[in-house]
Amino acid sequence: MSLLLPNRRTFFGGAAAGLLGAFFPGRSAALDPSGHHGPAPDPAGQVSPEARLRELGIELPSPRAPVATYVPAVAVGTTLYVAGHTPRMPDGSAGVIGRVGADLTIEEGRDAARMVGLLVLATIRAHVGSLDRVARLVRTFGMVNATADFTQQPQVVNGFSDFIVDVFGERAGKGARAAVGMGSLPGGMAVEIETTWELRA
């Protein structure tokens, strides 16, 4: 099996182990008592994702340089297009490698998608200065490196989507989505996720 998971404490910048469990083996620690994902909005219906990250004890990694001829994010007006991200370590070394359905379980694929969520948010913050500038997630395009007979791509990409809802709340953290299987992905990565966001004017 070609699974290379980083040390969770190191990857998350020293966040407490109990909080890391909310994003890896545990599925419910980041839920509020009513069972809903994410922070409660203020009276205006807004959620501060930066405050939510602090609440969860998460420090985003430093974004890494592109590995090919592209830029990590492009803003056109109030729309931010974020390039496809894979679950590599911030230094560019291998992260989660393998095909779901053969080398990796659904749960391992979901964890890889969560890692991508952290890297995507790191890119957004580096590009616009603060996650609080994000109005909402518009669209997610999730690609899963999987066997030909694997059909549970949506469950894998939920690792990313659930994490984004945990940080941005239900209103801003859910958008349109596709979750598809691929015969291979760059570097043998387990998942690649491309996103589109609306920024506050």
Indicate the helix (H) or strand (E) that contains 58. Answer: none
CATH number for region 8-199:
3.30.1330.40
Q: Is the pLDDT of residue 5 over 50?
A: no
Q: Is the pLDDT of residue 38 over 70?
A: no
Domain boundaries, the chain: 8-199
Mean of all residue pLDDT scores within the chain: 83
Indicate the helix (H) or strand (E) that contains 11. Answer: helix 8-11
Q: pLDDT by residue (tens digit) across 8-36?
A: 433 433 322 332 333 333 333 333 333 44
φ/ψ bin of 50: left (φ > 0), alpha (ψ from -120 to 50), beta (otherwise)? alpha
Q: What is the mean pLDDT of residues 36-53?
A: 71
Q: pLDDT by residue (tens digit) across 93-106?
A: 888 999 999 999 99
Instruction: Spell out where the chain has E strands.
Output: 73-76, 79-85, 134-145, 176-182, 191-199
Taking the complete model, does pTM exceed 0.75, yes or no?
yes
pLDDT for position 9:
35
pLDDT for position 125:
98
pLDDT for position 93:
80
pLDDT for position 40:
59
Mutual angle of helices 49-56 and 153-173, in 10-degree steps: 120
